[in-house]
Structure 1
Amino acid sequence: MSNYYKIAIALAVSTFAIGTTEFVPVGMLTDIAQDMHVSTGMIGLLVTGYAIAQAIGAPIATSFVGRIARRQLFAWFMMAFAVLNLLSAIAPTYGILLGTRALTAVVHGVFFATASVYLTKLAPVDKKGEAASWLFGGLTVATVFGVPFGTYLGEAVGWRATFAVVGLLGVFGWLGVITQVPKTAAPLVTDNQLAGIITVIRHPKISLTLLMATLGFGSSFVLYTYIRPYLQQVTGVSTAGVVGVLALYGAFVTVGNVIGGRLANRQALGVIAGILVAQIVVQLLQLLLLPRPGWYLVGIALLGLVAFMGNASLQSRIIMTTTELAPAHTDVASALNVSALNFGIAGGSFVGNAVMSYAGLQMLPLVGAVIGGVAVLVVALLRRIN
Structure 2
Amino acid sequence: MKNKEIAAFTGYQKMVIFILALTQFTVILDFMVMSPLGDMLMKSLSLKPSAFGVAVSAYAFSAGLSGLLTAGFADRFDRKKLLLFFYIGFIGGTVFCGLAHTYVVLVAARIITGLFGGVIGSISMAIITDLFTLQQRGRVMGFVQMGFGASQVLGVPIGLYLANALGWEAPFLMVAGLAGIIALVIMLRLKPVTQHLLVRNEKSVLLHLWHTVAKRDYRIGFTATALLSIGGFMMMPFGSAFAINNLGITAEQLPLLFMVSGVSSLIIMPVVGRLSDKVSKFRLFMIASIWMMVMCVLYTNLSVTPFLLVMVFNILMMMGVMSRVIPSSALTSAVPDMEDRGAFMSINASLQQIAGGVAAAVAGMIVVQKNNFSPLEHYNIVGYVIVGISIIGILLMYRVSELVLKKAAGKALVAFEEEVVLNEGL
For normalisation by structure 1, the TM-score amounts to 0.89
CA separation in 1, counterparts of 2:39 and 2:300? Answer: 24
Match of 1:367 among 362, 375, 385: 385
- Tell me the residue number matched to 2:241: 229
- Tell me the residue number matched to 1:136: 145
CA separation in 1, counterparts of 2:296 and 2:302? Answer: 10
AA aligned to 1:220 is G
Match of 2:396 among 360, 369, 378: 378
Match of 1:331 among 342, 366, 391: 342
- Tell me the residue number matched to 2:290: 277
8 Å Cα contact 1:143/1:247 also seen in 2: yes
8 Å Cα contact 2:157/2:259 also seen in 1: yes
8 Å Cα contact 2:230/2:359 also seen in 1: yes
CA separation in 2, counterparts of 1:223 and 1:291? Answer: 18
8 Å Cα contact 2:74/2:342 also seen in 1: no
* CA shift in 2, pair 1:178/1:382, >3 Å: closer
CA separation in 1, counterparts of 2:143 and 2:402? Answer: 31
Q: How does 1:1-386 map to 2 (within 5 A)?
A: 2-124=11-133, 126-183=135-192, 188=197, 190=201, 191-265=203-277, 268-287=281-300, 291-293=304-306, 294-323=308-337, 327-357=338-368, 360-379=378-397
Q: Secondary structure at the match of 2:138?
A: coil
Shift of 1:371: 2.2
CA separation in 1, counterparts of 2:206 and 2:195? Answer: 18
* CA shift in 2, pair 1:204/1:71, >3 Å: closer
8 Å Cα contact 1:315/1:334 also seen in 2: no
8 Å Cα contact 2:331/2:401 also seen in 1: no
8 Å Cα contact 1:70/1:186 also seen in 2: no
Percent identical residues: 16
AA aligned to 1:337 is N
What are the Cα deviations for residues 251-272 of structure 1, in whole angstroms up to 9, with x where unaligned? 2233343233224435643332
Q: Secondary structure at the match of 1:159?
A: coil
CA separation in 2, counterparts of 1:372 and 1:184? Answer: 35
* CA shift in 2, pair 1:263/1:218, >3 Å: farther
* CA shift in 2, pair 1:140/1:238, >3 Å: same
What are the Cα deviations for residues 76-128 of structure 1, in whole angstroms up to 9, with x where unaligned? 22222222211111124323322222222232222221121112221256313
8 Å Cα contact 1:86/1:164 also seen in 2: yes
Q: Secondary structure at the match of 2:210?
A: helix
What are the Cα deviations for residues 290-328 of structure 1, in whole angstroms up to 9, with x where unaligned? 6532422221111212223222333332331112xxx32
AA aligned to 2:378 is G
Q: Secondary structure at the match of 1:322?
A: coil
CA separation in 2, counterparts of 1:309 and 1:196? Answer: 33
CA separation in 1, counterparts of 2:400 and 2:28? Answer: 30
Q: Secondary structure at the match of 2:305?
A: coil
Bigger mean CA deviation after superposition, 374-383 or 59-68? 374-383
Q: Where do 5+ consecutive residues of structure 1 fail to align?
A: none
8 Å Cα contact 1:212/1:378 also seen in 2: yes
Q: Secondary structure at the match of 1:237?
A: coil
CA separation in 2, counterparts of 1:125 and 1:226? Answer: 36
Bigger mean CA deviation after superposition, 172-181 or 130-139? 130-139
Q: Tell me the C-alpha RMSD between the 2 structures.
A: 2.6
Shift of 1:138: 1.9
AA aligned to 1:361 is Y
Bigger mean CA deviation after superposition, 375-384 or 202-211? 375-384
Shift of 1:45: 2.3
What are the Cα deviations for residues 326-353 of structure 1, in whole angstroms up to 9, with x where unaligned? x321111112222233234223322322
* CA shift in 2, pair 1:104/1:202, >3 Å: same
Shift of 1:25: 1.0
CA separation in 2, counterparts of 1:267 and 1:198? Answer: 32
* CA shift in 2, pair 1:67/1:184, >3 Å: same
Shift of 1:53: 1.5
Q: Answer with 1 or 2: which has the greater Rg.
A: 2
AA aligned to 1:205 is D
Greater helix proportion:
1
